[in-house]
Amino acid sequence: MKSEMVMHPELNRNRFWSGILTFFFIATVLAVAFCFDFSSATAAAQDKSTSAEQKTKAIKISADKSEINPSESSMEYSGNVNISVGPTVITADNVQIFFKKATDSKLSQDPESVKKVIADGNVRIVTENLTATCREAVYDAEAKTLVLSGTEETPATLVTDKVDSSCKKIIYKGFTL
């Protein structure tokens, strides 16, 4: 004799909804786990890119002569000065860099610690979106301004994607190293 199991229609409906709810619960748990895992991976990737960016934004300087003045939190370079800060390159005959604060009598290589830069003599500044030439350039980090000075015979020039200017004095606001 064969036995058959007959289920009540109400039980079939409850099992159906129970299966659907279980499926959505598992899908939600997996989605939340994926989001947390993804966000931590994203945070780790951002930390690595920030670290890489800081390394590429370090100040790299070459010159014929350099003088360090820790009491004034400044460094002075003369003769074929070439300064690189990420994609920004500054060349000049003389450059003086003033820092916000010297720690342990060491001046930082971090662009965020720069207070002011004065470049003098055959100054050329090239970034991703500007090229400037002048007799003297003064960069004020707090005000985020670059002042280019020239003479009647050799005016200061500034070329960007929006401006092509040549005169005795140019003030460029919003400049950062």
The three-class DSSP label of residue 176 is coil
pLDDT value at residue 113: 82
- What is the C-alpha radius of gyration for the chain, rounded to an integer number of angstroms? 31
pLDDT value at residue 158: 93
The single-letter code of the amino acid at 74 is: S
pLDDT tens digits along 8-44: 555 555 666 566 656 555 655 555 444 444 434 444 4
pLDDT value at residue 112: 80
- % residues pLDDT > 90 (the chain): 44
* DSSP assignment string, 24-55: HHHHHHHHHHHHHHHHHHHHHHHHHHHHHHHH
Q: Which segments of 73-163 are extended strands (E)?
A: 74-85, 88-99, 114-126, 130-140, 145-149, 156-160
pTM for this predicted structure: 0.65
**Distance, CA of 1 to CA of 52 (rounded, Å):** 78
